Chains A and B, each alone.
Chain A
């Protein structure tokens, strides 16, 4: 496993991200990763808040389903920039348990969004203005996952091993 991670880390693209002092290397990837996170988590949060009742009374919730492509756009940005940043120090991030905790939060968060779309937005009950109890539970779980992903992602910078250690 470590050999594979070191192989990734030694690719020329990884070395460019790690060693270049250009703003167009690691800094821009980290910036875009943060922006993508804002789009993904912000959109998910607003959909969850609406399902939990933070939404104008009488306004239908179902049209929010149209914003799912925005979520997937944010997720695509996260995947591309996240994989790139991982490649930069693959052997370090790959040994950091906190990184895997973050990934679990992200995978569960995405799964919950898919479940929310199938079980809440396609439920005829939602047209009457009532959000099913299951929908509220999914919304709470989704909020916890995305908050957990952000916290775990930030903690990667502090919990051992961090890039530069060996």
Chain B
């Protein structure tokens, strides 16, 4: 496998894992605090 393909696969997998984790945590916490106005997190 070429180095560029490896890099592309790694970046794709990394960003996918990152987005899924960040989104899941966000949705879960939003559900726990349902109804409470949120002001934006860091």
| Chain A residues proximal to chain B, CB less than 8 Å | 26, 30, 33-35, 37-43, 45-46, 63-64, 67, 70, 82, 85-86, 93, 99, 102, 147, 150-151, 153-158, 162-164
| Chain B residues proximal to chain A, CB less than 8 Å | 6-7, 10-11, 13-19, 21-22, 25-26, 29, 33, 36, 38-42
Q: Is the CB of A162 within 8 A of B39?
A: yes
Known pairs A46-B14, A67-B10, A70-B11; A86 contacts B42 (CB<8 A): yes
Residue of chain B at shortest CB distance from A34: B22
Most central of A38, A41, A153 by chain B CB within 10 Å? A38
Q: Is the CB of A156 within 8 A of B42?
A: yes
Q: Is the CB of A38 within 8 A of B19?
A: yes
Q: Is the CB of A154 within 8 A of B14?
A: no
8 contacts between A and B (CB under 8 A): A38-B22, A42-B18, A67-B7, A67-B10, A70-B14, A153-B42, A155-B29, A163-B40
Query: Does more than half of chain A's interface fall in helix, strand or loop, or is it mixed?
Result: helix
Q: Is the CB of A154 within 8 A of B15?
A: no
